[in-house]
Amino acid sequence: MTAHVLNAEGLNCPLPIIKAKKALKSVPQGEILAISTTDPGSVADFAAFCNQTGNELLSSSSEGAIYKFEIKRS
């Protein structure tokens, strides 16, 4: 399954979450949205977002100053 991709690099809180919420609306249920950000606060933000929305945070990682997330739409 190919993941849907959202590049939110260079955006500060709360924009990565806002853009992810909007992007998830076009992701079919059960599919994955891959997100990349440069905002260190997004680690806690995406965990809380998934907890509140019922979407599943499949992975959270960092590569240097880039933070990557995979969210499965519920």
Element (H, E) at 51: helix 42-53
Residue 17 reports pLDDT greater than 60? yes
CA nearest to 42, candidates 61, 23, 22 = 61
> What CATH superfamily classification does 4-72 receive?
TusA-like domain (3.30.110.40)
What SS3 state is found at 46?
helix
Q: Which of 3, 13, 15, 34 is catalytic?
A: 13
Per-residue pLDDT tens over the stretch 30-48: 999 999 999 999 999 999 9
Query: Where do the structural domains in the chain lie, given as residue ranges?
Result: 4-72
Q: Establish whether 13 is a catalytic residue.
A: yes
pLDDT at 3: 73
Per-residue pLDDT tens over the stretch 57-66: 999 999 999 9
The dihedral over CA atoms of 26, 73, 12, 39, expressed in degrees to the nearest 10, equals -140
* Position 2 confidence tier, pLDDT thresholds 50, 70, 90: low
Residue with tokens 């950000």: 37
Residue 1 reports pLDDT greater than 70? no
